[in-house]
Structure 1
Amino acid sequence: GTPQSKTSDGADLTFLVAATEALLPHLASGAVVVGKSTVPVGTVDMLQGVLAGRPDVQLGWNPEFLRQGTAVKDSLVPDRLVYGVAGGRAAAFNPRTGAPRAVTAALDAVYEPLLNAGIPRLVCNFATAELIKSAANAYLATKVSFINAISELCDASGADVAELSEAMGMDPRIGSRYMHAGLGFGGGCLPKDIRSLRSQAAALGVDPVNHWMGVVDAINIRQRTRTVSLAAELCGGGLCGRAVTVLGASFKPETDDIRDSPALDVAARLAAAGAHVTVTDPKAVNHAWLRYPQLRFEASTPRALEGAELVLLLTEWDEYRRFSPALAGGLVRRRVILDARNVLDAAAWQAEGWVVRCLGTNAGAGAGVTEAGLTGMRNS
């Protein structure tokens, strides 16, 4: 994807421009060049300037909709195909417009098996193609931040966000996907895409989108702050000197990607508050320590749990969902867990003597935990 600028919320197009310039000497007459990165509106117009010396070269935009951990499947069985061409749909099928027709024909040839399988195709103008991916990610991020904001309301009111989101998801107008409350989103796409969209909106004077994306981003970051505050609460009010184990380092399961990882951000905040933090993860340990040298990393989950006074589940790997609460209870010093992804069977863990705290649910027995309240939950 296109990286975020180091000095602003906008996109850094340096590499994209350099790649386009590097292509120029190698392009045959009549070549079709197609971009796939998520880019701000106006990027294709700018690249056409780079290609101005080659009027025979045709430019198109074909945004990808790949998810981390399922990219191969998303490539082979996409939800839709989007072609951005000069002049949009009308030009693409007008026999008098050569360039748009050439781009459309080239992409149809590439995607022939998918088109024959019934995958829908949308042909649009450049601005629409540039905006589609950012708008899609912004909507998904909005759903996540919405249910996370509601989870805080549930905590304050005594409602259960898991039951609430289940009921909401039964409404076909809403759906259940991206409606699971928890620590929030991270990774290399959603955070930078909503910030890029915000930057574009600000530049174009569209204040509602600028403000809206700012709120979505702020709610997402607030979930991390809430998690650290709850961790301190579960340690009697302070984290200094506490042995804390964090389950998960990658930004989501089934990947080793730690870009803007909510789990590692929370772990770093816990360490900054004075906790002795051990992080474990099935895939990300071998390189996460390079980015977070202040944290201790342990590949083995049982070893990571040894002596813990508080456990936080921050990335919802299946192995953590399935981990035996009885086994875990024999390893830790205090049977207290903060499930910031709301994925554990809280009743099963409580049956083994654990204090369980979730975000936005009444699973737990977590709020207001004191040292006295933990008597009998320590292991000798």
Structure 2
Amino acid sequence: MAPKLTVIGTGYLGATHAAAMAELGFEVLALDVVPEKIELLTAGRVPMYEPGLEELLAKHVAGIEGSTGRLRFTMDYAEVAEFGDVHFVCVNTPQKHGEYGCDMSFVDAAMESLGKHLTRPALVVGKSTVPVGSADRLAARLAELAPAGEGVELAWNPEFLREGFAVQDTLHPDRIVVGVRGERAEALLREVYATPVAEGTPFVVTDYPTSELVKTAANSFLATKISFINAMAEICEAAGGDVAKLAEAIGYDERIGAKFLRAGVGFGGGCLPKDIRAFMARAGELGVDQALTFLREVDSINMRQRGQAVELAREACGGDFLGKRIGVLGAAFKPDSDDVRDSPALNVAGQIHLQGGQVTVYDPKGMANARRVFPTLGYAESALEAVRGADVVLHLTEWREFRELDAAELGRVVSRRQLIDGRNALDGSVWRAAGWTYRAMGRPRA
């Protein structure tokens, strides 16, 4: 008989994992402590935008006509403990307020609430991104809490989801990493992930510390690559080079690769910034802070890019934002997402607004979240309306919709045809042909 699965936490990670496990054929019970989330999910709806997730939920949520009924939701930890053989903990681990370190309060609370109800053998699987050393501590705590004692095991199984591709990444991951202490835990996880493993997904078995380090190491490497090409954009800007051609040339080297070599306003979102900061903080606690000193510069370069985008806009406005209209294309931190957490686009828009510019923003999916974070900005229902009367237009989130815009049509409604491509993703020759002044960081002016 297949194990029954539970998912603790139904945010971006948890909701996706729960729906994907139901798709793989398992009976799943998911828990959250927020009633509004449970109401939405029980109706087959999601509290965030993620392509394909709502359709997957509707296919499996119990009570929806035509569904398999394999996925249900609850707020009761006792029900979860009674139901499940494998419990996935998918709660948030944000950055501590005013510190670099990771806030483990949600993970700790979930383990405490679940552990005391575990009266029979079970496997608890952490998926949240946590500081190295957390699994050892949590395993000891579960052993103290659980009535089933040694019958309750802990494993760590980090997630590698990309927002916008989360469903695909869960059903067809590029690797599965499990940190375990015993053969039973490994066997159970091999059973859970049998379908992707059969498709050829590598299954990497390791110890607790290594499994905890994989996600933060991967994110640190990606962040470093992004900040490297942005540093090269600064050099190209000063020297008159073309960072796009530079990236193309070095990207052909298979040791380097072309991905994540597009210069622009940098990375953001709920993972990369807080993960590299938490990694630095944990390294300091372990007494090896010098090993990650370079990440401070990675973070610094990334944040500097936002200020440089503001300066390009100021230059286009003649040195002063007062009385100027600025159209901003993009609010989400990346395309195919409504996530505006630590969004470079919204940060740049906000900085210009606070310096006197009349800013109007449009984003295909991120408008509602952007309004909650920065209600004093102007918002429009289309790209055309966002740029109407603008002295300068900033492209800050690389949505496909923006790549397909008609440069001539937009040119007819702006005050001045000035475009700053903060993502180096638009075809400058097309915009220049339509009479626009096209600027991008690290690119020739003509």
Name the structure 2 match of 1:10: 101
Paired residues for 1:261-276 under 5 Å: 261-276=343-358
Letter in 1 for 2:109: A
Tell me the distance in 2 between the aligned counterparts of 1:210 and 1:138.
Answer: 9
1:52 to partner: Cα distance: 2.6
Aligned letter for 2:308?
A: R
Q: Is the 8 A contact 2:339 2:369 kept in 1?
A: no
Alignment length (residue pairs): 351
- The whole-number CA distance in structure 2 between the counterparts of 1:63 and 1:234 is 45
Q: What is the distance in 2 between the residues matched to 1:123 and 1:184?
A: 33
Q: Is the contact made by 1:199 and 1:210 (CA closer than 8 Å) also made in structure 2? A: no
Shift of 1:39: 0.6
After the TM superposition, which of the residue ranges 44-53 and 184-193 deviates more from structure 2?
44-53
Q: Aligned match of 1:48 in 105, 114, 139?
A: 139
Matched residue SS, 1:245:
strand
Structure 2 CA distance, aligned partners of 1:81 and 1:264?
34
TM-score (norm 2): 0.77
Matched with 2:301 is 219
Pairing 1:203-282 to 2, within 5 Å after superposition = 203-282=285-364
In percent, how many aligned pairs have the same letter? Answer: 50
Q: Which residue among 70, 82, 92 is the counterpart of 2:165?
A: 70
Q: Which of 336, 339, 354 in structure 1 is aligned with 2:418?
A: 336
Q: State the 1:29 CA deviation.
A: 2.2
- 2:184 is paired with a residue whose SS is helix
Distance 1:300 1:178 in 2: 28
For 1:1-380, list aligned pairs within 5 A. Answer: 1-53=92-144, 54-86=149-181, 100-362=182-444, 364-365=445-446
In structure 2, distance between residues paired with 1:253 and 1:147: 20
Provide the C-alpha distance between the structure 2 equivalents of 1:207 and 1:280, rounded to a whole number of angstroms: 41
Moved more, 172-181 or 196-205: 196-205
Higher relative contact order (CA 8 A, sep 6+): 1
- Post-superposition offset of 1:210: 3.3
CA-to-aligned-CA distance 1:268-315 (integer Å, 9 cap, x gap)? 100111100001000111231111022011121111111001100000
Q: Over aligned residue pairs, what C-alpha RMSD do you find?
A: 1.1
User: Which secondary structure state, in structure 2, belongs to the residue aligned with residue 122 of structure 1?
Assistant: strand
Instruction: For 2:98 and 2:307, locate their aligned partners in 1 and report how far apart those are by CA, in whole Å.
Output: 24
Deviation at 1:331, TM superposition (A): 0.6
Deviation at residue 201 of structure 1 after TM alignment:
1.2
CA apart distance, 1:80: 0.6
Gaps of 5+ in 2: 1-91
The amino acid that maps onto 1:14 is: S
Write the deviation string for residues 8-27 of structure 1: whole angstroms up to 9, x where unpaired: 11111111011111112432
Letter in 1 for 2:379: F
Find the aligned partners of 1:299 and 1:211 in 2 and give their Cα distance. Answer: 43
Could you list the per-position Cα deviations for residues 296-343 of structure 1 after superposition, in whole angstroms to 9, with x for gaps in the alignment?
Answer: 111211111110011000001111111011001001000001001111
Say whether the 8 Å CA contact 1:185–1:262 is kept in structure 2. Answer: yes
> What is the CA distance between 1:238 and its match in structure 2?
1.2
Tell me what 1:90 maps to. none
Indicate conservation of the 8 Å contact 2:390/2:414, yes or no.
yes
Structure 1 match to 2:4: none
Q: What SS is found at the alignment partner of 1:63?
A: coil
Partners of 2:215 and 2:137 in 1: CA distance = 19
The one-letter code of the counterpart of 2:172 is V
In 2, the alpha carbon distance for the partners of 1:184 and 1:7 equals: 22
Unaligned runs of 5+ in 1: 87-99, 366-380
Secondary structure at the counterpart of residue 233 of structure 1: helix
Taking the aligned partners of 2:403 and 2:386, their CA distance within structure 1 comes to 16
| Aligned mates of 1:65, 1:184 — CA distance in 2 | 20
Deviation at 1:85, TM superposition (A): 1.2
Query: Aligned partners of 2:323, 2:293: CA distance in 1, in Å?
Result: 40
Letter in 2 for 1:358: A
Deviations 1:128-155 (A, max 9, x none): 0000000000000000000000001001
1:304 match: secondary structure: helix
